[in-house]
Amino acid sequence: MDEVDVLIIGAGASAAAFAWSIADTKMHIVCLEQGDWVDHQNYPSVGKDWQSRPDFGSDPNVRKAAADYPINCDNSDIAASNYNGVGGGTILYAAHFPRFHPSDFKVGTLDSVADDWPIDYETLEPFYAINDRMMGVSGLAGDPAYPPKQPVMPPLPLGKSSAALARGYNKLGWHWWPTDCAINTETYDGRDKCINLGTCGIGCPQGAKGSVDVTYWPVAVRAGVELRTHCRVREITVGPDGMATGAIYFDADGNEQRINASMVVVACNGIGTPRLLLNSKSNLFPDGLANSSGLVGKNLMFHPYAGVDGIFDEELDGNKGPHKGLSCHEFYETDASRGFVRGFSFEMHRGYGPITSAALGMLAGRIPWGTAHHEAYREIVDRMMTIVAVCEDLPQVRNEVVLDTELCDSDGIPAAKVNYKMSDNSKKMMQFALERGREAMDAAGATDIPREVGPVRHAGWHNMGTTRMGTDPSTSVVNEWGRCHDVKNLFVIDGSLFVTGAALNPTPTIQALALYVASSIKDKLADASLFD
Amino acid sequence: MSDKETFTEQEQTVLRRLAGAMISASEDLRIPGADDEVIFRRLLERTSHIVAQLRQAMDDFCADLGGTATVAALGDVDFSDVIETARKKPHPFLEVLTGVVANAYYSDPRILASLNKEDRPPFPKGNTLEQGDWSLLDPVKKRDPVFRSC
């Protein structure tokens, strides 16, 4: 009989941080992950065909790897993106690594919309700092958009693209700051510094990008955590007392296995986690595990993305560096005079390789057909960058993850379906953001703006809110330290916990929260109150 | 190989003609167009996993052209009207084809050489990124906090 103390389901960003932290209890800890470790020598950027590798695309419905499960997004304005394997989304993320603002935890109090989180920035701050050290965050202290914090390494170089945009922001008098990134700017923790492959979003064979398969997981495994790959969990099991007893999963050979655990921790992201809970029905939980509130899967939040491309006379960086460079938080906080609440951040996308430059230019009509292609192309290549708006999405119960009634994965487990519509608030915000993006590009010296797009459909990287945390079991699924209200030995540690989504990449906050939950569990283990 | 796995000759003719219309050869730059044999072969290799989807999209495109246009018929007739229509009117098939043509064309060593770009993978050589002028931050450093304290 397979009996463990702690069962973690999923091996992405939150699971890695949690496993690393909880390992010092010396409990018997097993993590089940449906995918595998990534072979870094198989990353696209080691080959000449690096721009032609569909196996490293972010859409699971196109990638269709063995570890992927279908996500029906036919009724969603935004299509989900993920990566299923050890490292989760950090394998493909650009490593843009901002913390949330203090106000992001107090949206209800400050802006009279949505709700406050049951914890605040100050509570998470020490865990953000631990996570920055473990992931290896480069940046620059002194950002007026944050309370004081100290990155671990110096910031990434500005490069030509960031410098051009910075001049534009300065002309407008807007805030900007070099972006915090989980990318080594010097040798750190046994990993080399970044050599500007420009392929962060399809994996980093250099190891300079902080994905959790090279940061947390090696340390957690050395500390005794057992990570089993090719193990797909079908359901979490419960006993007659309403406590979780473990899980049933399919092993690498496709055989059904059972594992018993004293504590179950779910880390499958904002779509995978509700899917698993909804698939874990029982007599005690006919509507899905831990779902007496009816909120498992509800309040799905994405970050609606919008982009403004700019073409410059001067040569920029192209794709010769990390994707991210600057952030602008000028429009982050609520200003009701704008006609919407909450706000957005501006990222930048540094530039594009030869193929993407051609495709974008042709699709935008900027590069004509025929012999005129060549002159027009040479005006664009290495001369284009994009301002990207990351809009805060307010929680709405109608936006949800449910079980698909027809689709299943390769093990016959019902797939997820996303029902999602952008709110009027998000639409107004996005329109405002596009206008400001255009303004910024003009100020930066762009001679042409060939494309403005929003919402970007294939930008569902950040999925949040679907097992929200709170102190009231009627309006939340999980309590203020990550334990499910209904099941006292069941925990959630991923972005499903989020009460609101902020306007920034969620990974640092997801991981800080996972570390906080681990710390809370350790405290309550010490005073024997964990399952009270 | 069955038709499900590879494009028919007629389909290849249409794809090649469209590719060549999208990116034509340049005598000045001494580079081929996207209908070049090597480049087109690369296009076929890189679309081998989406033949069915591209075939369906191509059939839809032909149907939308109206009349008696079919893929088989387009392969044999004067293509100039089709190209003019394609230039002016977006179509999902052309959007996909744009991406695959750009992919095959701008992977070619001759094209990369014409751009003074190295024909190599990004790793392990990497690239150089200049530090830039950090004094650009000076005005921002003078600002009051832009976050709301709570």
Are B102 and A110 in contact (CB < 8 Å)? no
Query: Which residue from B22, B129, B134 is facing A369, i.e. has the nearest CB?
Result: B22
Residues 6+ apart with CB under 8 A from A92: A56, A58, A81, A83, A201, A202, A203
Nearest to A282 by CA among A295, A291, A273: A291
Q: Is A190 helix (H, G, I), strand (E, B) or coil?
A: coil
Query: Which residue from B25, B115, B147 is facing A101, i.e. has the nearest CB?
Result: B147
Amino acid type, A363: L
H/E stretch holding A345 reads strand A344-349
Query: Which residue from B103, B121, B149 is facing A355, i.e. has the nearest CB?
Result: B103
Nearest residue in chain B measured CA to CA from A198: B122
Place of tokens 């909120």: A295
CB A278 within 8 A of CB A404: no
Query: H-type helices in chain B, by residue range?
Result: 9-22, 37-46, 51-65, 71-74, 80-88, 92-105, 109-114, 138-141
Does residue A46 sit within a domain? no
CA distance B40 to chain A (A): 15
pTM of the model: 0.96
Rounded distance between C-alpha atoms, residue B61 and residue B51, angstroms:
15
**What's the structural domain count of chain A?**
1
Please, how many CA atoms are within 13 Å of residue A324, restricted to the half-sphere of its CB? Answer: 29
Q: In what order do the strands lie in the sheet with A71-76?
A: A71-76, A414-420, A400-408
| pLDDT of the residue at A453 | 94
**A86: CATH:** 3.50.50.60
Q: Which of A332, A373, A375, A458 to mutate to test the interface with B (most CBs of B within 10 A)?
A: A373
Does residue B93 sit within a domain? yes
Q: Is A429 helix (H, G, I), strand (E, B) or coil?
A: helix
Nearest residue in chain A measured CA to CA from B47: A52
Are A110 and B22 in contact (CB < 8 Å)? no
Dihedral sign (CA A495, A496, A497, A501): positive
Please, how many CA atoms are within 13 Å of residue A57, restricted to the half-sphere of its CB? Answer: 15
A121 contacts in chain B (CB < 8 Å) = 150
* Chain B (45-64) residues lying within 8 Å, Cβ to Cβ, of chain A: 46, 49
Nearest to A484 by CA among A244, A284, A241: A244
Domain of A187 in residue numbering reads as 3-39+56-526
Rounded distance between C-alpha atoms, residue A374 and residue B90, angstroms:
21
State what percent of residues in chain B have pLDDT above 70. 90
**What's the structural domain count of chain B?**
1
Cis peptide before A44 (omega within 30 of 0): no
Are A333 and B146 in contact (CB < 8 Å)? yes
Does residue A481 sit within a domain? yes
Does residue B98 sit within a domain? yes
CB A257 within 8 A of CB A250: yes
CA distance A379 to chain B (A): 12
| pLDDT of the residue at B3 | 46
| pLDDT of the residue at B67 | 64
A166 contacts in chain B (CB < 8 Å) = 132, 136-137
Q: Which of B82, B138, B150 to mutate to test the interface with A (most CBs of A within 10 A)?
A: B150
Query: Which residue from B24, B98, B111 is facing A359, i.e. has the nearest CB?
Result: B98
Give the number of other Cβ atoms within 10 Å of residue A100's Cβ.
Answer: 23
Amino acid type, A170: N
Say yes or no to pLDDT of B4 above 80. no
Nearest residue in chain B measured CA to CA from A44: B121
Q: How far apart are the first and last CA of chain B?
A: 67
Rounded distance between C-alpha atoms, residue A51 and residue A508, angstroms:
28
Are B147 and A333 in contact (CB < 8 Å)? yes
Are B130 and A45 in contact (CB < 8 Å)? no
Does residue B53 sit within a domain? yes
Domain of B113 in residue numbering reads as 9-120
Amino acid type, A309: D
Are A369 and B21 in contact (CB < 8 Å)? yes
| pLDDT of the residue at B5 | 78
| pLDDT of the residue at B2 | 44
Are A166 and B136 in contact (CB < 8 Å)? yes
CA distance B52 to chain A (A): 14
Does residue A295 sit within a domain? yes
Rounded distance between C-alpha atoms, residue A92 and residue A272, angstroms:
17
Are B26 and A374 in contact (CB < 8 Å)? yes
State the DSSP code for A480: T
* Each residue's pLDDT tens digit, B60-111: 888 887 766 667 666 656 677 778 888 888 889 999 999 999 999 999 999 9
Q: Is A344 helix (H, G, I), strand (E, B) or coil?
A: strand
Query: Which residue from A142, A166, A321 is facing B129, i.e. has the nearest CB?
Result: A321
CA distance A218 to chain B (A): 23
Nearest residue in chain B measured CA to CA from A330: B146
| pLDDT of the residue at B62 | 84
Mean pLDDT of successive 10-residue segments in chain A (532 residues)?
Answer: 95 98 98 97 94 92 95 97 97 98 97 97 98 98 96 97 98 97 98 97 97 98 98 98 98 96 98 98 97 98 97 96 96 96 97 94 93 96 97 98 97 98 97 98 97 94 98 98 98 98 98 98 91 89
A320 contacts in chain B (CB < 8 Å) = 127-129
Q: Is A172 exposed, middle or buried (0-12, 13-18, 19+ CB in 10 A)?
A: middle
Q: Is A272 exposed, middle or buried (0-12, 13-18, 19+ CB in 10 A)?
A: buried
Please indicate if any CB of chain A lies within 8 Å of the CB of B126.
yes
Rounded distance between C-alpha atoms, residue A232 and residue A414, angstroms:
13
Are B107 and A48 in contact (CB < 8 Å)? yes
Q: Is A400 helix (H, G, I), strand (E, B) or coil?
A: strand
Say yes or no to pLDDT of B1 above 50. no
Rounded distance between C-alpha atoms, residue A152 and residue A217, angstroms:
20
B103 contacts in chain A (CB < 8 Å) = 51-52, 355, 359
Q: What is the ipTM of this complex?
A: 0.93
Nearest to A162 by CA among A138, A179, A139, A137: A179
Are B136 and A121 in contact (CB < 8 Å)? no
Residues 6+ apart with CB under 8 A from A211: A87, A90, A91, A93, A95, A203, A204
Does residue A370 sit within a domain? yes
Nearest to A216 by CA among A156, A318, A130, A310: A130
A47 contacts in chain B (CB < 8 Å) = 121
Does residue B145 sit within a domain? no
Nearest residue in chain B measured CA to CA from A192: B124
CB A304 within 8 A of CB A457: no
Place of tokens 């929680």: A395
Which token pair is A350? 């540094």
